[in-house]
């Protein structure tokens, strides 16, 4: 289930106790409504559980501050058992990766990188994001799942059959907004659930309304701690078949574009960017407030990291 952009932004703001202006931006991307075809495991490392990461891609056409997100999935435990959410972003391979790769998987073309973009990681336990979960449906069935069958080549399992649980939406507010230049990225959320798991639900590929269609949309990838640093394609490599399916995952991102931002690594990047922010938002203090930063100093720190990667 997916909602209009205005509803999503208001929900993020209300659900995690942030002021609405922090999400009044002009950037919004969504893969649309879930299609229920797949649930892919997304969980952190914990006693008796192997970390498993599911990632899907998105594009930025210019420098963008991302300050909110939503994810939709299944849980097999009460909402109160959701203890943490972590978000990582990745470049597309071969950036941030060993190349050539290990050869343990069929392909790394168009996969997430080996390692995350460190400056873009946000974690509820570290106070860099807040989250709230709400139930969309008490019972929802994913027609196929990928939970344990995540292996090096040969990796095809056909999936692990259907499963049911509560369909939920988690709204996320980045208390330290994520700042990125134009580019192609992967979004990887991870959810910790006491006594259960979170399976992120798939969305149609190619993206259809009310999603945000993009040229060059890639299929979702997955890995666990045993496969790291490699990734496998959920549809092509894991489920397989004569005509392997491909999937998007159900998520959205919201924020603001900064058209006049400087170029990372350029000596004038910081000054150019601060000037652009002041012009765009009527002053640097107002920019910090509108964009969701806790202070002008926090904004300055983030743009310092942006300009000196």
Count Cα atoms within 13 angstroms, Cβ side, for 128. Answer: 15
Q: What is the pLDDT of residues 245-266, one digit of tens each?
A: 999 999 999 999 999 899 999 9
How far apart are alpha carbons 263 and 63 in whole angstroms? Answer: 9
Per-residue pLDDT, 24: 40
In the chain, where the domains are located: 5-257, 260-309
134: exposed, middle or buried (Cβ count in 10 Å: 0-12, 13-18, 19+): exposed
pLDDT in tens, 197-232: 999 999 999 999 999 999 999 999 999 999 999 999
Average pLDDT, the chain: 92
So what's the pLDDT on residue 309?
84
Q: Any idea which residue has 């203090």 for tokens?
A: 285
Both tokens of 304, joined, read 């310092």
Beta bridge pairs of residue 297: none
Residues 226-257 as b/e (b if ≥16 CB within 10 A, e otherwise) read ebebbbbbbbbbbbbeeeebbbbbbbbbbbbb
Count CB-CB contacts under 10 A for residue 133.
21
* Average pLDDT over every residue of 286-290: 94
Written as six digits, the tokens of 296 are 């002008």
For 67-123, what is each residue's pLDDT tens digit? 999 999 999 999 999 999 999 999 999 999 999 999 999 999 999 999 999 999 999
């Amino acid at each position: 289930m997916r909602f209009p952009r205005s509803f999503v932004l208001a929900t993020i703001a209300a659900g995690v106790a942030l002021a609405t202006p922090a999400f009044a931006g002009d950037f919004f991307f969504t893969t649309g409504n879930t299609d229920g075809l797949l649930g892919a495991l997304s969980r952190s490392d914990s006693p008796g559980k192997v970390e498993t990461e599911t990632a899907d891609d998105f594009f930025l056409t210019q420098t963008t501050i991302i300050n909110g997100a939503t994810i939709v999935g299944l849980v097999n435990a009460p909402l109160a058992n959701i203890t943490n959410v972590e978000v990582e972003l990745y470049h597309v391979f071969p950036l941030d990766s060993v190349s050539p790769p290990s050869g343990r998987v069929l392909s790394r073309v168009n996969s997430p990188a080996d390692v995350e973009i460190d400056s873009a990681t946000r974690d509820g336990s570290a106070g860099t994001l807040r989250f709230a979960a709400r139930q969309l449906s008490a019972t929802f069935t994913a027609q196929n799942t990928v939970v344990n069958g995540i292996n090096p080549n040969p990796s095809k399992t056909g999936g692990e059959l259907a499963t049911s649980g509560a369909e939920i939406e988690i709204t996320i507010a980045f208390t330290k907004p994520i700042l990125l230049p134009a580019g192609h990225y992967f979004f990887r959320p991870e959810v910790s659930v006491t006594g259960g798991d979170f399976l992120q639900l798939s969305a149609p590929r190619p993206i259809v309304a009310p999603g945000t269609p993009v040229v060059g949309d890639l299929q979702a990838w997955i890995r666990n701690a045993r496969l790291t640093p490699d990734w496998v394609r959920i549809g092509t490599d894991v489920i397989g078949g004569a005509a392997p399916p491909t999937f998007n995952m159900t998520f959205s991102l919201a924020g603001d574009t900064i058209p006049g931002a400087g170029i990372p690594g350029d000596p004038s990047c910081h000054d150019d960017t601060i000037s652009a922010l002041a012009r765009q938002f009527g002053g640097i203090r107002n920019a910090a407030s509108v964009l969701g930063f806790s202070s002008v100093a926090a904004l300055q720190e983030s743009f310092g990291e942006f300009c000196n990667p």
